[in-house]
């Protein structure tokens, strides 16, 4: 199986995101796709050769989660961009946010605070599949810390490559620009 990088060039021109920042980010994403394909091929080869008990196979299996999630999280991130930033408050997601957080404003404040946490990682709005509850979570590394049984709905990349070129150390300004460009229709489409 070979994965193909998706084309997100339609995002170029988005308010608050320079072409240079986006093109660099697309290149980084392409690297995750390439590395996922390389690891997938190498792991399959080692498996077919019966070389699964050595450290090489184990370490590549561990690395695969980093590359795979780097690929998928970037796809989800790019796909929840390019919109007008206005959530339909009468829709399923708007209702669920109000139910779980009391108001959209309370949810947004919590999500922005989550995204502003010091360090590298992701701010992600998840939906717990067992209860339907929405949870704003901080994820440090692509492959670690994802809550079991939860589906990512809204993904905010807060690794430095996502904002430093345009915003320097002003992460809150980047988060504000992100909110102006959320494609809420894509986010709501992920809701179960």
Look at residue 8 and give its three-state secondary structure: coil
- 142 is an annotated ligand-binding site residue: no
Cα–Cα dist 152/71, whole Å: 14
- Judge contact between 116 and 175, C-beta under 8 A: yes
- 74 is an annotated ligand-binding site residue: yes
Beta bridge partners of 81: 182
Work out the number of other CB atoms within 10 angstroms of the CB of residue 6: 14
Identify the DSSP state of 9.
Answer: G
What DSSP element (H or E) covers 157?
strand 150-157
95 token code pair: 């209702």
Identify the DSSP state of 81.
Answer: B
For 62, residues 6+ apart whose C-beta sits below 8 A from its C-beta are: none
Q: Is 60 exposed, middle or buried (0-12, 13-18, 19+ CB in 10 A)?
A: middle
Which residues carry a binding-site annotation?
25, 74, 157, 161
Which residues carry a binding-site annotation for Mn(2+)?
25, 74, 157, 161
């Amino acid at each position: 199986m070979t994965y193909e990088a998706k084309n997100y060039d339609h995002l170029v021109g988005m308010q608050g995101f320079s072409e240079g920042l986006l093109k660099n980010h697309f290149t980084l994403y392409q690297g995750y796709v390439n590395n996922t394909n390389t690891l997938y091929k190498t792991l399959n080869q080692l498996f077919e050769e019966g070389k699964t008990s050595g450290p090489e196979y184990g370490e590549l299996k561990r690395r695969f989660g980093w590359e795979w999630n780097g690929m998928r999280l970037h796809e989800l991130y790019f796909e929840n961009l390019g919109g007008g930033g206005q959530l339909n408050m009468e829709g399923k997601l708007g209702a669920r946010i109000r139910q779980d957080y009391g108001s959209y404003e309370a949810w947004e404040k919590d999500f922005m605070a989550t995204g502003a946490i010091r360090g590298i990682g992701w701010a992600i709005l998840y939906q717990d599949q067992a209860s339907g509850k929405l949870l704003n979570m901080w994820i440090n590394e692509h492959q670690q810390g994802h809550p079991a049984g939860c589906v990512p709905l809204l993904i905010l990349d807060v690794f430095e490559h996502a904002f430093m070129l345009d915003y320097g150390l002003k992460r809150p300004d980047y988060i504000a620009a992100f909110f102006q460009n959320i494609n809420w229709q894509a986010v709501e489409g992920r809701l179960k």
